Structure 1
Amino acid sequence: MEAFSSKDMAMQAQKKILSRMASKSVAQMFIDDNSSEVLDELYRVSKEHSGNRAEAQKVVKNMIKIAVKVGVLFRHEKFSAEELSIAQEFRKKLHHGAMTAISFQEVEFTFDKSVMINLLSDCRDLLLKLVEKHLTPKSLDRIRHVFNHYSNPELLTHLYDPQGNLWSNLSKICSGLNRMIEEGKL
């Protein structure tokens, strides 16, 4: 006889509904203003760099979907002790990545794209390891899509060019990341 769990069914429904509703207005219900501003700037960076509005929207939408799904999994305590350890490692790596991104922006001539690419790749791999048993292959592909998009060497070089047209976006992103760190959210 197949085991039925209304709690599991409710969690699956939440993940499905929330992933279908991953728009800016819905995201604002779950994401604070500061995080929303950072997401907006990441969208602008993607759009400006790629010249493709649809792709930029897809990347940010995927980011929101993944964040919501991971949040649902945490809320429903679906992670094992080992996975929670991976989550902690991911959080530390993400914090380190944010601090590095800020430092590269604040201190001239320190940007090293290989360092950023490695940090983003490490974050991607940890997040995939965390959720691989819980999310569909399509969701795992969304994670890869987001991290691969932002670890693109040309995008990073363009973003960290002090004379480039993305520098003001980077400044706003770093300002938002700084606030998240100060508030203990990152």
Structure 2
Amino acid sequence: MPKMAEAGSGFDSRGLGLRAQKKLLGKMSSKKIAKVFIDDTTGHLLDNMYKILKDYLPTKKEAEKMLKYLIKTVVKIGILYRNDQFNSEELSIAESFKQKFHSLALSIISFHEVEFTFDKNFLRKSIEECRILIQNLITRHLTEKSKGRIDLLFNFFATPDFLEALFSQDSVHREAMDRIVLDMHKMMDEGNL
């Protein structure tokens, strides 16, 4: 009969379970898997973001890749949080990110709903501040590959041309942005954004 690992023997079942969850997520990241981890409102928001990405990016494959990176990032951070992996300093960073992201979301809503208020430089600065906070939060938890994906996402969403495409008065993405903003309002009302 095999010997069971004793406490202090170097075997960490919780750490192994966490690594397995992250690895499994990496292999199975799709919209179906995301629905297990992501609520309906967030799912609707992501579906509409995908429509915008599909129209904006040169290929459907690039749009799928961007959405996949976004879902993986959100779910991995959620897994880390639910498994109490963040220390007190990281929890403080997470709270700062939450506040900064909430402010960014309010700005996005305002820029979409109130004509002629769009401030591209303000949005770009806010997105960059969020990127820095996320990188500080996950620095000891995720791989360099994941950190690179996060940079790619935030850099893309801060691209001046992309922001102009979303917020210009004659934007072809207006209908999808209307639905995204409705979902953002709902998420705020539920305390999820």
CA distance in 1, matches of 2:143, 2:9: 21
Q: Provide TM-score, normalisation by structure 1.
A: 0.96
Asked if structure 2 preserves the Cα contact closer than 8 Å seen for 1:41 and 1:173, the reply is yes
In 1, Cα distance between the equivalents of 2:108 and 2:88?
A: 30
Q: Give the deviation of 1:52 after TM superposition.
A: 1.7
Are 2:164 and 1:164 equivalent residues in the alignment?
Answer: no
Match of 1:117 in 2: 124
Find the aligned partners of 2:89 and 2:51 in 1 and give their Cα distance. Answer: 37
Alignment match, 2:36: 29
What percentage of aligned pairs have identical amino acids? 39
Residues 16-165 of structure 1 mapped to structure 2, 5 A cutoff:
16-165=23-172
Residue 175 (structure 1) aligned with residue 182 (structure 2): yes
Task: Note the residue ranges of structure 2 that are not aligned, 5 or more in a row.
Answer: 1-7
| Structure 1 residues 6-32: Cα deviation after superposition (integer angstroms, max 9, x where no partner) | 110110001110122110111111111
Name which of structure 1's ranges 80-89 and 59-68 shifts more when overlaid on structure 2. Answer: 59-68
Q: Can you list the C-alpha shifts for 1:88-143, whole angstroms capped at 9, x where unaligned? A: 00000110010000000111000011111111111111001000110000010111
Aligned-partner Cα distance in 2 for 1:106–1:52 = 29
- Larger Rg, first or second structure (1 or 2): 2
**TM-score, structure 2 as length reference:** 0.93
What is the deviation of 1:2?
7.5
Write the letter of the residue equivalent to 2:40. Answer: D
Q: Could you say which residue in structure 1 is the equivalent of 2:3?
A: none
**Secondary structure, aligned partner of 1:122:** helix
Query: What value does the CA root-mean-square deviation take over the aligned residues?
Result: 1.3
CA distance in structure 2 between the partners assigned to 1:64 and 1:42 by the alignment: 12
Count of residues in Structure 1 that have an aligned counterpart in Structure 2: 186
- 1:4, CA displacement in angstroms? 2.1
Which amino acid is 2:177 matched to? L
Amino acid at match of 1:156: L
Output the amino acid matched with 1:97: L
Q: Which whole-Å CA distance do the structure 2 matches of 1:76 and 1:31 have between them?
A: 16
Contact 1:19–1:68 (8 Å) recurs in 2: no
Bigger mean CA offset, 85-94 vs 70-79:
70-79
Q: For the Cα contact (< 8 Å) 1:159–1:170, is it kept in 2?
A: yes
